[in-house]
């Protein structure tokens, strides 16, 4: 930015959850790398929790260079009591955020103006729909980062607006046909949309994201054009604002990789252990930060991994350790072939030469990370969007095999064999490596997602230069997705 250029200041506001923080922070760094000042924000309680692990600071003097721009952190106080053991309960958290979040975010934005750095654009993830209302009230253009696949976005969008027929209690076996997607059987759909879904409050939270989404000028998707071209093209014909791919938002190749928002400190000893293993020999296992496997699943997974005879690195959070077979941890560590850790530097693990495959719950972040690493998947989805993610990995992109439910140790061994030594293993690995090349190319300079971020920053820059006017009007169809790119008419 030259001295005569108006100051560009992007404010990123994240829902306080690990699966939301990571992709939004990565997008924030990519925007900052284009030249603007970027402030990243979430709740004060979570900010305090990630600060120790991520080494982030919150003061004006702590401006972190990122490419041609700068990144800073500033958190808002939503009234969380850090001593409350129920502070992360979703119902309590959502009610507290909806009540206390808008005034707290408004105060944060006003402080930016008072400090001489008014906010040019607000970007949030959709579990904070009220952030769009705050931006509208303050006359600030806004954007939303959708942190799941475009296919899942389209599925929820069609369900919310009743644009397609979905399974009902009277017809629970209905196949759903959506534009740009393969036919989706009930077992392929996000579980929150099924009549058997026991988590109705969570479904309401998810669908609430679509009530005011048209207040945003842009919807970004943590995906890339080449991976979901048909889905992007199809949703462009439904939605009045552009859905723009800006991913994969993964660690590989991102600016300032040392800046993270991890809620747990990863155990780096697992990298030292991987260094001692043979090439393409290790099975990596992780169910992410939220999934709670039951006792039977933990037992079958444990025995299946051990019976496979392959070395494995298994992320087992502390709250799941008691579900392991008695003495399991001590036995495998005594053998020296495998290790358990509470949290891992996942993308470093996936990039390691000793890795053979990834047993994953198929959360979207993990799905993109394995695609970007070129690693075959053993899909073990539990609920929500993990189910369609597994379908696309295994049936559409053909870079994984799926563990049947309920999990059984013999089936786990069979799947591990199929992905590493089976007759289709080499072709599966070749496809995975090809997707790795395409994913990496999308986010490199001049790649499809990189161009979309550049255009977005330029559009906001023009808005600031025009004194807060003259933004492209996506509702009028001037800015739209054409083969995954934001095409701006002149």
- How far apart are alpha carbons 236 and 150 in whole angstroms? 11
Q: Are 146 and 153 in contact (CB under 8 A)?
A: yes
Q: Which residue has the tokens 């358990």?
A: 340
Catalytic residue among 20, 158, 352, 397: 20
160 assigned to active site: no
Structure tokens at 275: 């260094």
- How far apart are alpha carbons 38 and 57 in whole angstroms? 14
DSSP structure string for 348-365:
HHHT-TTEEEEEE---HH
CA of 272: how far to CAs of 53, 222, 275, 311, in Å?
20, 31, 5, 14
- How far apart are alpha carbons 260 and 53 in whole angstroms? 8
Q: How many CB atoms lie within 10 A of CB 183?
A: 9
CA end-to-end span of the chain: 23
3-state secondary structure of 357: strand
3-state secondary structure of 62: coil
Q: Are 480 and 474 in contact (CB under 8 A)?
A: yes
Please list the active-site residues: 20
């Amino acid at each position: 930015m030259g001295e005569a250029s108006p100051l560009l200041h992007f404010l990123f506001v994240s829902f306080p959850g690990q699966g939301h923080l990571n992709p939004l922070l990565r997008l924030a760094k990519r925007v900052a790398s284009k030249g603007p000042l970027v402030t990243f924000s979430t709740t004060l309680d979570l900010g305090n929790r990630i600060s120790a692990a991520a080494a982030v600071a919150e003061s004006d003097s702590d401006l972190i260079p990122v490419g041609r721009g700068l990144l800073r952190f500033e958190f808002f106080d939503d009234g969380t009591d850090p001593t409350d053991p129920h502070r992360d309960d979703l119902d309590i958290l959502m009610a507290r955020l909806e009540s206390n979040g808008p005034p707290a975010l408004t105060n944060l934005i006003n402080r930016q103006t008072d400090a001489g750095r008014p906010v040019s654009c607000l970007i949030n993830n959709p579990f904070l729909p009220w952030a769009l209302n705050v931006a509208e009230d303050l006359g600030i253009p806004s954007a939303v980062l959708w942190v799941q696949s475009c296919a899942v976005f389209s599925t929820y969008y069609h369900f919310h607006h009743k644009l397609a027929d979905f399974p009902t209690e009277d017809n629970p076996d209905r196949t759903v046909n959506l534009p740009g997607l393969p036919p989706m059987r009930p077992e392929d759909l996000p579980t929150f949309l099924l009549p058997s879904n026991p988590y109705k409050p969570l479904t309401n939270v998810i669908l609430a994201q679509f009530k005011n989404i048209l207040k945003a000028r842009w919807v970004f998707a943590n995906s890339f054009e080449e991976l979901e071209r048909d889905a992007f093209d199809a949703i462009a014909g439904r939605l009045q604002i552009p859905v723009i791919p800006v991913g994969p938002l993964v660690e590989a190749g991102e600016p300032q990789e040392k800046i993270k928002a991890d809620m747990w400190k990863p155990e780096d000893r697992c990298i030292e252990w991987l260094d001692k293993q043979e090439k393409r020999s290790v099975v990596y296992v992780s169910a992410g930060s939220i999934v709670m496997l039951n006792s039977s699943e933990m037992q079958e997974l444990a025995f299946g991994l051990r019976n496979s005879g392959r070395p494995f690195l298994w992320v087992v959070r502390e709250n799941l350790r008691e579900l392991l077979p008695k003495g399991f941890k001590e036995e495998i560590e005594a053998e020296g072939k495998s290790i358990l850790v509470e949290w891992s530097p996942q993308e470093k693990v996936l990039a390691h030469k000793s890795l053979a495959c990834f047993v994953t719950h198929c959360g979207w972040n993990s799905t993109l990370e394995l695609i970007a690493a070129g690693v075959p998947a053993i899909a073990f989805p539990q609920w929500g969007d993990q189910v369609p993610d597994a379908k696309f990995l295994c049936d559409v992109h053909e870079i994984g095999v799926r563990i049947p439910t309920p999990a059984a140790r013999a089936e786990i061994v069979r799947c591990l064999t199929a992905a590493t030594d089976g007759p289709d293993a080499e072709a599966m690995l070749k496809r995975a490596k090809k997707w790795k090349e395409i994913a990496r190319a999308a986010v490199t300079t001049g790649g499809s997602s990189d161009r979309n971020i550049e255009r977005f920053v330029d559009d906001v820059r023009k808005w600031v230069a025009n004194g807060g006017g003259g933004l492209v009007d996506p509702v009028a169809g001037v800015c739209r997705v054409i083969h995954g790119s934001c095409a701006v008419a002149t």
